[in-house]
Amino acid sequence: MMKAKLILDGNTVATSIKDNLVGRIKRLSEKGIVPCLATILVGDDPSSATYVKMKGNACKRLGIESIRVELPSTTTTDELIDVINKLNNDPKVHGILLQHPVPHQIDERAAFEAIRIEKDVDGVTTLGFAQNAFGFADFPSCTPAAIIAILDYYNIPVEGKHAVVIGRSPILGKPVSAMLLNKNATVTTCHSRTTHLAEIVQLADIVVAAVGKPKFVQGDWIKPGAIVLDAGYNEGNVGDVDYDACMENASAITPVPAGVGPVTIATLLKHTVDAAEKFA
């Protein structure tokens, strides 16, 4: 068995993205504009609170303003949309992030749709999804965009390759499938109803795992020389692929942590700066 030749280090890619933002943020500040991301957290889910704190800290380190809006778990859909509309109408806010999941009584899709497209830096609206599918979204969903950024950074060819995406969520599996298709890959999107999943994955040149199940993708599913991108993060700091086992056949693989995650946050910061520049 050959060992993976390349560890796709997300911290390196994230640092490259953030380094590119420093000068852009400085030029905005000279115009009196500070890029601003508003994050909405509904309820007291500890994992969501941790993610929001990480995003806030990342903003602070770069000089991006971060507004944290915390709402009780009893918040209604209408109350949440009222908060979103206030942020939509605040010229100092350039990006809005609604941390998901939200409590069960909230219509999450209605809340996402309330975010104005020019502030949808997390790529959660249906309009943003459609623009991404057509290949001209300003703000594609951050995790799919991070996966593409990793492929681009390491000069991994996508055109003509067979990519298998495991997962079809509207903010990860579906948009990354569209982005790979737009880069001229042949894409198979698998999901919970897919039969003969292992056999399909064994045909892949590029595997994207986005199922939310720890160590779901097995080592013998990976074709020798395939590229493995693990978009999962589960309890115990493990991803959706069995890292050690998949590493045996893969030619390149993202670790968890320090793989797709840091690049997702860096992409969110980039989108916020992009939005501020468009506003300017």
Catalytic residue annotation: 55, 99, 122
Tell me the three state secondary structure of residue 253.
strand
Q: Are 57 and 239 in contact (CB under 8 A)?
A: no
Query: For residue 238, how many other CB atoms are within 10 A of its CB?
Result: 16
The token pair that represents 31 in the structure block? 């115009």
Tell me which H or E stretch contains 108.
Answer: helix 108-113
Instruction: Supply the Cα-derived Rg of the chain in whole angstroms.
Output: 19
Tell me the three state secondary structure of residue 19.
helix
Residues sharing a CB contact under 8 Å with residue 148, sequence separation 6 or more, in sequence order: 176, 179, 180, 183
Residues sharing a CB contact under 8 Å with residue 204, sequence separation 6 or more, in sequence order: 162, 163, 164, 188, 223, 226
Angle between helices 142-153 and 260-279 (to 10 degrees): 110
Instruction: Label residues 34-63 b or e (16+ Cβ within 10 Å = b).
Output: ebbbbbbbbbebeebeebbeebbebbeebe
The token pair that represents 186 in the structure block? 């042949």
Query: For residue 104, how many other CB atoms are within 10 A of its CB?
Result: 8
